[in-house]
Amino acid sequence: MNKVAIIILSDPTNGGEEAFGRAFNGLSAAWDIKQSGGEVTVIFQGAGVRWPSLITKADHPLNGLYGLVKGSIEGVSCGCADAFGAAEGAAACGMKVIKDNPVPGTTGLASFAKLLKFGTTVLTF
The mean pLDDT of 54-83, rounded to a whole number, is 96
Determine whether domain 4-124 maps to CATH 3.40.1260.10.
Answer: yes
Q: Answer yes or no: are the C-beta atoms of 73 and 105 closer than 8 Å.
A: no
What's residue 16's pLDDT?
A: 84
Mean pLDDT value across the chain: 95
What's residue 36's pLDDT?
A: 95
Q: In the predicted model, is pLDDT for residue 118 greater than 80?
A: yes
In the chain, the percentage of residues whose pLDDT exceeds 70 is 98
Query: Cα(116)–Cα(107) distance, rounded to whole angstroms?
Result: 22
Q: Answer yes or no: are the C-beta atoms of 47 and 82 closer than 8 Å.
A: no
The mean pLDDT of 54-71, rounded to a whole number, is 97
Q: In the predicted model, is pLDDT for residue 15 greater than 80?
A: no
3-state SS assignment for residue 8: strand
Query: Cα(48)–Cα(66) distance, rounded to whole angstroms?
Result: 14
Which is nearest to 94 in space by CA: 79, 73, 110, 68?
73
The mean pLDDT of 31-55, rounded to a whole number, is 97
Please report the sign of the dihedral spanned by the C-alpha atoms of residue 107, residue 113, residue 114, residue 115.
positive
Q: Domain spans of the chain?
A: 4-124
What's residue 97's pLDDT?
A: 96
